[in-house]
Amino acid sequence: MILSEVRDYLKERGQATLLDVALHFDIDPETARGMLDVWVRKGRIHQERATASCGSSCSQCDTAATEIYVWGETPAIRVQVPGCGY
The per-residue pLDDT string of the chain (86 residues; one tens digit each, 9 = 90 and over) reads 689 999 999 999 999 999 999 999 999 999 999 999 999 999 999 988 765 554 555 556 656 667 899 998 645 455 555 555 54
Q: Report the Cα 48 to chain-centroid distance in Å.
A: 7
CB distance 35 to 6 below 8 Å: yes
Query: Cα separation of 86 and 72, whole Å?
Result: 26
Q: What is the pLDDT of residue 39?
A: 94
Q: What is the pLDDT of residue 14?
A: 94
Q: Does domain 1-50 have CATH number 1.10.1060?
A: no
Q: What are phi and psi of 18, to 5 degrees?
A: -55, -40
Q: What is the pLDDT of residue 34?
A: 94
Q: What is the pLDDT of residue 86?
A: 44
Query: Cα separation of 41 and 20, whole Å?
Result: 20
